């Protein structure tokens, strides 16, 4: 038997990988928009407020599985607002954290996308 041929991936696993790829990539872009602070201030404020609202909504109005992502999204939105309106030392730290998190999420999104494509190719 040829060991180079990957095992076919289930449809459910492909759906999870594809969704995770998109969510990570969009989240990374949102973090980077929030981190850009002065360059795109209105957009950064809007994205930060949206993150706080969506995070709080996930915390209080969704199921138990949404508590962890809701907490993370809420914290990201608050850090984005600190990046926009905080004192200079906190703004610099918040911008660094958002930029680092954004790059990490973009990389995770690309990695999950590669896994999705590999799994999709193994089905054929």
The confidence band for 61, taking pLDDT boundaries of 50, 70 and 90, is confident
Q: What is the largest CA-CA distance in the chain?
A: 63
Q: Sketch the domain layout of the chain as residue ranges.
A: 45-124
User: What is the average per-residue pLDDT within 10-26?
Assistant: 87
* 92-102 per-position pLDDT tens digit: 898 899 999 99
pTM for the full model? Answer: 0.77
What per-residue confidence (pLDDT) applies to 59? 86
- 12-19: average pLDDT: 85
What is the full DSSP assignment across 6-68?
A: PPPPPHHHHHHHHHHHHHHHHHHHHHHHHHTTTTTHHHHHHHHHHHHHHHHHHHHHS-GGGHH
């Amino acid at each position: 038997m040829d060991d180079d041929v990957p095992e076919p991936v289930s449809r459910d696993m492909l759906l999870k990988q594809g969704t995770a790829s998109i969510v990570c990539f969009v989240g990374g872009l949102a973090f980077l928009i929030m981190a850009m602070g002065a360059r795109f201030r209105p957009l950064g404020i809007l994205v930060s407020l949206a993150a706080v609202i969506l995070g709080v909504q996930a915390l209080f109005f969704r199921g138990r599985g949404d508590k962890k992502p809701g907490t993370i999204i809420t914290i990201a939105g608050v850090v984005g607002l600190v990046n926009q309106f905080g004192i200079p030392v906190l703004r610099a730290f918040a911008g660094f954290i958002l930029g680092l998190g954004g790059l990490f999420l973009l990389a995770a999104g690309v990695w999950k996308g590669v896994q999705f494509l590999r799994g999709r190719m193994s089905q054929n």
